[in-house]
Amino acid sequence: MRRSVRWRYLAGFASVLLILAVVGGFAYRTASSGLSRAVATRGAGDEVIRFGELLSRMDEVQAAVRGFAIAGQPSFLGPYDSAVARVPALVADLRRMAANDTLEQRTLDSLVALIDNRMAASDTIIRLRRSAGAAAALHEIAVGTGTATADAIRRHLRTLERAHEAERERNIAALQASVRATRRVVLAGWLAALLAAAAASVFAHVGLRTRERADARARDLAAELQDLYDHAPVGYHSLDEYGVFVRMNRTELSWLGYEPSEILGRMRFSDLLAPASREGFELNFEHFKATGEVREHAYNLFRKDGTILPVVVSATLVRDVAGGYVMSRGVTVDVSERRRMEAEVKTLSGLLPICSSCKKIRDDHGRWRQIESYVREHSEAEFSHGLCPECLRRLYPDVAPEGGT
């Protein structure tokens, strides 16, 4: 029962650990996936930012070139120079971010070609404004391909921006779904772990209660058996291999008049015998250790007050697994009453000297006594007196009925 309760605890604990391990593994996997998606989302967001800045820079280039072509003032070229310096860095960042996307790399190649054309057209307009004046520069703007190129660049950037924005939205949605799934799994795992722990606790509690009830029954049974042993109508005792008392029930202790502390572990069985009987007991005890059994050996034991207790002892031997002596299990029967009854029966069943005439009996002291007094003294019998029909007719013929019985 103890092992069963322990295994229930261990099984419940192992179930909880297994559930937590599964939940932890799923949460780790989901977190790793979520982290990857978060990185991808952040990358897509950075690309969108770069596309937006690149589009803004190209719009600045277009506005700066138009303003310079009309006014011819160098201040209009500030945004243009800044864009010229910034655009290569933005293109390099976009190529790095799209390093694992072949399709996007090809799109960037087309976009870079358009940007290079637009920058070349802008340089041409700026040179014409400086060398030929505003009319030549504005004519180049009107008939050149710069505007169309700028529109193409804008379309490419818008397309890429929308694609990355859509990817970012997908990553965010997937990340949110992953988070929700992780929450559900973690919640379900914790709930399952709590249920497993509760079930293990309930099973263990039931096992403990069952074991407590079994222990209580065992204690009651042990107490009942001990009471039966101590207060049996016969005496019980056990001797070690040296003949020393190691156990004795209350019945036999009360017969002998001893307390347990006075006899257990202190006195030998032979200590209760008359010296003349001890040698015979020792021989019987050696035979008992060899055979493992003795039946109805009669002994006269000395009580603590010195009186004699006639007993009959039977015993069996308890051995260990190697066959060695452990202790005896002896049953002692008080035969005092049997001895008294046997003595009475022997007195009445012996050869009785009786007078053939008066029927008196001679007792052990040579005195002749009436038979009824002798029998009364030596038994529990009582007498009632009367006349048989023959004596009645002989002694009292006048009152005796004719032919009566």
- Per-residue pLDDT of 139-161, as tens digits, reads 777 776 666 766 777 676 677 66
Question: Which pLDDT value is given to residue 269?
Answer: 94
Same domain, 304 and 329: yes
Same domain, 329 and 257: yes
Q: 343 or 300: whose pLDDT is higher?
A: 300
Place of tokens 């379309």: 155
Is residue 287 a part of any domain in this protein?
yes
**What six digits make up the tokens of 383?**
């007498």
Give me the number of domains the chain comprises: 3
Give CA–CA dist 187/208, Å, rounded. Answer: 31
Query: Given a cut of 70, is residue 4 above it in pLDDT?
Result: no
Give CA–CA dist 141/22, Å, rounded. Answer: 67
Is residue 274 a part of any domain in this protein?
yes
Q: How many helices (H) and strands (E) would you count in the chain?
A: 11, 7
Q: How, if at all, do strands 308-319 and 293-302 pair?
A: antiparallel
pLDDT tens digit sequence for 165-184: 777 777 777 777 777 777 78
Least confident of 7-16, 122-131, 325-334, 349-358: 7-16
**What six digits make up the tokens of 122?**
């802008």
182, 204, 226 - which closes a domain: 204
pLDDT tens digit sequence for 281-331: 999 999 999 999 999 899 999 999 999 999 999 999 999 999 999 999 999
pLDDT tens digit sequence for 361-373: 887 777 888 777 7
Q: What stretch of H or E contains 329?
A: strand 325-334
Question: Which pLDDT value is given to residue 161?
Answer: 67
Least confident of 83-97, 212-226, 336-350: 336-350
Q: What stretch of H or E contains 150?
A: helix 146-230
Q: In what order do the strands lie in the sheet with 245-248?
A: 245-248, 235-239, 325-334, 308-319, 293-302
Question: Which pLDDT value is given to residue 135?
Answer: 83
Question: Which pLDDT value is given to residue 62?
Answer: 79
Count Cβ atoms below 10 Å from residue 247 Cβ, excluding itself.
17
pLDDT tens digit sequence for 12-29: 667 667 776 776 666 666
Looking at residue 325, which CATH number applies to its domain? 3.30.450.20
Query: Given a cut of 80, is residue 374 above it in pLDDT?
Result: no
Is residue 298 a part of any domain in this protein?
yes
Query: Given a cut of 70, is residue 137 above it in pLDDT?
Result: yes
Give CA–CA dist 143/141, Å, rounded. Answer: 6
Question: Phi-psi category of 359—alpha, beta or left, where left has phi over 0 and alpha has psi -120 to 50?
Answer: left
pLDDT tens digit sequence for 211-261: 888 888 988 998 898 898 889 999 999 999 999 999 999 999 999 999 999
Q: For residue 146, give the amino acid letter.
A: G
CA atoms within 13 A on the CB side of 231: 6
Is residue 326 a part of any domain in this protein?
yes
**What six digits make up the tokens of 46?**
């950075």
Same domain, 177 and 326: no
Domain extent, residue 260, equals 235-343
Q: Which of 46, 41, 149 is nearest to 94 (CA)?
A: 46
Name residues whose C-beta falls within 8 Å of residue 221's C-beta, 6 or more positions apart in sequence: none
165, 189, 204 - which closes a domain: 204
Least confident of 120-129, 223-232, 287-296, 337-346: 337-346
Same domain, 282 and 153: no
Is residue 181 a part of any domain in this protein?
yes
Is residue 402 a part of any domain in this protein?
no
Same domain, 135 and 273: no
Mean pLDDT, the chain, integer: 79
* Residues β-bridged to residue 319: 325
Band of residue 384 on the pLDDT scale cut at 50, 70, 90: confident
300, 319, 343 - which closes a domain: 343
Is residue 211 a part of any domain in this protein?
no
Determine contact, residues 66/48, Cβ cutoff 8 Å.
Answer: no
**What six digits make up the tokens of 138?**
């504005």
Q: Which backbone phi and psi does 331 adopt, to 5 degrees?
A: -115, 125
Is residue 217 a part of any domain in this protein?
no
Band of residue 68 on the pLDDT scale cut at 50, 70, 90: confident
Determine contact, residues 192/19, Cβ cutoff 8 Å.
Answer: yes
Query: Given a cut of 60, is residue 345 above it in pLDDT?
Result: no
Share of the chain above pLDDT 90, in %: 22
Same domain, 338 and 376: no
Query: Given a cut of 60, is residue 40 above it in pLDDT?
Result: no
Same domain, 337 and 360: no
Same domain, 288 and 366: no
Same domain, 262 and 139: no
Same domain, 386 and 247: no
Same domain, 256 and 335: yes
Question: Which pLDDT value is given to residue 337?
Answer: 86
Same domain, 140 and 20: yes
